[in-house]
């Protein structure tokens, strides 16, 4: 049943898109979530600190397709599933991490330091069997100014909630020139989609994304810290679809009956 609701929602989004020839433009930035900024370039002078304690400029280290994940290391919610998903897709893709691409996991909590980055690096490297992951997956921290510039440039919106944060989960793929080429939503990633995003990034091509479809069909639940299907919206779509079907049937039925009588 849930799969059918998802299909109805996606089709209801895609049909007007197909007719109009364009994806509806989001009118306002959400307080929490992802704003696609495809084709935008992330600033080169962003300063980060890697898990080895080295201060680096983003422009100096993005020399291949690069996957960015924003987390905070103390996160009790979707950050761990997101990093689990990264570890899994690294092992399942046939592209070589550290050679064909790299992953930067960046904490957006300026209170977190290198000690936590090292801990997360060690924990997740134990989950990955792919050769090159030790050098290809870097865990980073930064000060508040650089975090704000980085997240804003990438379209990653989040909100403090006490000692924690409310935020979405996504991967942001950059070309070697730091251009945003793809967004991958959620915490689980198909190897084929992941590889395609990396290949597009290597050519500097921005690929289509279903991010806006997901925003249309799903709502983010801050308390549950996950995306949930928007039943109210999907129910409205179903009612509209059924009403339109009945209307067309009532309008067209006399025409078909008349045609049948004339051919008899």
pLDDT tens sequence for the chain (264 residues)? 544 544 455 445 444 444 444 444 444 456 889 999 999 999 999 999 999 999 999 999 999 999 999 999 999 999 999 999 999 999 999 999 999 999 999 999 999 999 999 999 999 999 999 999 999 999 999 999 999 999 999 999 999 999 999 999 999 999 999 999 999 999 999 999 999 999 999 999 886 655 445 445 555 455 554 455 566 655 666 677 787 787 777 777 776 666 666 665
The pTM of this model reads 0.71
Q: Which domains does the chain have, with CATH numbers?
A: 31-229 (3.40.30.10)
* Helices first, then strands: H and E counts in the chain: 9, 13
Distance in angstroms (rounded) separating the CA atoms of residues 71 and 109: 8
Can you read off the two tokens belonging to residue 3?
Answer: 């799969």
Vertex 117, ends 195 and 146: CA angle to 5°?
80
Please report how many Cα atoms fall inside a 13 Å half-sphere around the Cα of residue 215, on the Cβ side: 22
Phi, then psi, of 178 in degrees rounded to 5: 70, 20
């Amino acid at each position: 049943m849930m799969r059918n609701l998802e299909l109805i929602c996606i089709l209801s989004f895609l049909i007007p898109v197909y007719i109009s020839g364009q994806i509806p433009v989001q009118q306002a930035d959400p307080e929490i979530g992802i704003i696609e900024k495809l084709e935008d370039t992330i600033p080169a002078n962003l300063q980060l600190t890697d898990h080895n304690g080295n201060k680096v400029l983003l422009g100096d280290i993005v020399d291949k397709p690069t996957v960015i994940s924003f987390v905070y290391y103390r996160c009790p919610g979707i950050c761990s599933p997101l990093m689990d998903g990264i570890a899994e897709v690294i092992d399942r893709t046939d592209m070589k991490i550290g050679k064909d691409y790299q992953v930067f996991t960046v904490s957006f909590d300026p209170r977190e330091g290198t000690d936590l980055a090292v801990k997360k690096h060690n924990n997740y490297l134990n989950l990955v069997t792919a050769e090159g992951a030790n050098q290809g997956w870097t865990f980073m921290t930064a000060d508040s100014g650089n975090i704000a510039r980085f997240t804003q440039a990438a379209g990653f919106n989040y909100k403090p909630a006490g000692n924690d944060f409310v935020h979405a989960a996504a991967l942001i793929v950059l070309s070697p020139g730091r251009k945003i080429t793809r967004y991958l939503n959620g915490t689980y990633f198909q190897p084929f989609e992941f590889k395609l995003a990396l290949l597009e990034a290597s050519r500097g091509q921005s690929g289509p994304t279903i991010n806006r479809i997901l925003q249309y069909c799903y709502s983010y639940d801050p308390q549950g810290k996950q995306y949930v299907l928007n039943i109210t919206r999907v129910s409205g779509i179903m009612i509209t679809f059924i009403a339109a079907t009945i209307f067309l049937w009532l309008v067209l039925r006399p025409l078909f009956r008349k045609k049948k009588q004339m051919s008899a």
